[in-house]
A and B are shown apart, each in its own frame.
Chain A
Amino acid sequence: MNRLKIAMMSMTHGHTRKYYQVLKENPKLEWVAVSTANDEVRRIFKNSVDGIPCYDSDIEMLDAHPEIEAVVLASENCEHLRQMKLCAERGIHILSMKIPTFDMDEYDQMIELVEKHDVICQIELELHYNPVVRRMKEISESGKLGNILSFKATNTTLSPVWAFPWQGMPEKSYGKRVPLREGDNRFRGGALCDHPHIFDLIREITGSEFDTVYAAVAPNIRPDIEEEDMLNVVGRMKNGVVFSLDPSWSNMEERLKVPGPGWEVAPKRMEVNLIINGEKGTLMTDCFGPNTYHNGAPNDRYTVNYTYFDEWVGLIDEFVDNIRLHRLPKINLRRHRETIRVMNAIYESIRIGDSVNL
């Protein structure tokens, strides 16, 4: 099989670095080029990766490399529609970041584009390729827990806004400036926008769709950012499973411009824990554990040192197979649309201060 000629755009997304290793090492891929959104990003990329041509604009890159077959849109959310158009109109397949857009009209335009031009568009929800999640799903489906009664999930992290400033800008993260609620000086676009995974995983694990959501936003632990950083969501799925989902930026960070050692103030930079309470018992899952720990450089502060699983290996393997077999990705635009609709309903619940029926 010919190696898939792949490129990356913008390089401003927090997950950009996750692709460096897999794009270089995966034998199914040939990493052709990148385009960078600005000089700062270009400098950081060139300090991190050697030998990959780097362009100042997406169009310049695509014109220079007509052999490109697929692109990873490693960009801020507000750029996704424009870049999808660029790719789809040239018949280039797309790996989209986890939030294609929060604007449902834009979202439908994306679906139309991809279907009209018959390109593969896969959404990057990497937890589907996490071995702990896979085991959890197997146990859940085995019936060992009986029927699921409740589902709890945390997807908490530090705030990426210092390293990836667009995530702190409502118009770039959410797509526009929408106040959280009357009298609140914060806007949509913060922690919720960063953490769609648990809203997707509950659909996957329970095999059901959202029925009702209620969300409450807490006082920010970073009072100087203009988006929400702490919130919690409870509600019910259509099959009766009740849930509690926490997508907060509750893990305080040092305000580093480039992520690296010493990013953590809270000992953990990230957590995805899933708990299922079933009729026959309880299942507790740590998707990124066990870990290692240190209190050394650079801050001599007790720190959880992750032993990451590499979700991107499975994700990219599937992406390549989907393209070669011209197969609709499991996490496709139409499937993911409901998750985005639910996340908008959560913002609506915060706005009205009560539950929202979906």
Chain B
Amino acid sequence: MLQEKLELLLNKYQVTSDAKISADGRSVRIGGEVYPLLSHRFERRFVELRRMLHDGTISGVSAIRCGNVGTSEKSLDELILRELDICRFLSGREIVSIAAFGRDRRAENLIAVLDNDVVCSIEVANTLPSGAQTIDKHEVISARGLVCDRVVDTQIPQNSIYLYADENIAYTDVDFELYGLDADKAASVRAAFALAKDETLRQSALCDMETLRNLLSCATKSAADGRKVTI
């Protein structure tokens, strides 16, 4: 399904590429090289949050709050890496220190400080039952206003359609061209398509992943002894 949708975009926009997206949507092979897909960077909510941080909608950023609770199938490292990168992506800054406290590879809380002193709090866990919808929330607090990807006064995601019938089902369709994919999968295909088009983005993805692996290693080190690690 992901490859089919990627080819739809490649054909429609006449992009010549041998891009093959992995079944899990986490990487794309292009010209024999495998590139990581930081697909959250292509989710519209994060693109919009980032825009509002940089176009003057808010100013004087102080703190970024990230929470992500997934199902037990998700690895904690995957969640940590994603949230660390969301802090980098939204702010356009680098992380200079991390303090992490984790338990049983099921839950971890981190504080990451950016190179402009902004404090990022990250809480992740993989404690939801199988099949549950991921619960995540991202909020940026500034001297002039706040931005958030969740409705005011809520902690959990909303959906665009709720069907109450023989079974209760919720749908969130975010991409007409990629209709049928949920937001995560649509973002993966968009990320793969962007990399297929742009060599610079491909190199950036490699650099970002190297940085993130280093940050993850620092988080692991910090979680082991409960001390702050300076990057």
Contacts and interface: CB of A to CB of B under 8 A. Distances in A.
Interface of A: 149-150, 152, 212, 214-223, 230-232, 234-236, 240-244, 246, 248, 250, 252, 266-268, 273, 275, 277-282, 284, 286, 289-291, 293, 302, 304, 353-355
Given A234-B121, A250-B141, A304 B153 contact: yes
Most buried by B among A242, A252, A282: A242
B218 to A, nearest CB: 14
Contact of B99 (A150, A216, A268, A282): A216
Interface of B: 60-63, 65, 67, 69, 99-104, 106-111, 113, 117-119, 121, 123, 125, 127-129, 135, 141-143, 145-146, 152-153, 155-156, 226-228
A355 B123 contact: no
Contacts of B111: 214-216, 232, 234
Contacts of B65: 246
B107 A223 contact: no
Given A218-B117, A286-B155, A304-B152, A149 B228 contact: no
Given A214-B111, A221-B60, A277-B107, 14 more contacts: A212-B226, A214-B226, A217-B119, A223-B60, A230-B62, A235-B226, A244-B123, A252-B145, A266-B145, A275-B123, A277-B69, A280-B127, A282-B125, A355-B228
Given A216-B111, A282-B125, A236 B69 contact: no
B112 to A, nearest CB: 9
Contacts of A289: 153
Nearest to B142: A221
A218 B155 contact: no
19 contacts: A149-B106, A150-B108, A152-B67, A214-B228, A223-B60, A223-B143, A232-B119, A236-B101, A241-B103, A242-B109, A248-B141, A267-B152, A267-B153, A277-B107, A280-B127, A286-B155, A291-B153, A302-B152, A304-B153
Which 6 pairs of residues, A with B, have the shortest CB-CB distance? A150-B107, A218-B119, A244-B109, A277-B125, A242-B101, A149-B107
A302 B153 CA distance: 12
Contacts of A242: 101-103, 107-109
Given A221-B143, A222-B143, A250 B101 contact: no
Nearest to A302: B152
B127 A354 contact: no
B60 A150 contact: no
Nearest to A292: B153
Contact of A248 (B60, B63, B101, B113): B63
Nearest to A232: B121
B107 A235 contact: no
B62 A149 contact: no
B110 to A, nearest CB: 7
Given A152-B109, A248-B63, A234 B117 contact: no
A316 B229 CA distance: 46
B21 to A, nearest CB: 31
A240 B103 contact: yes
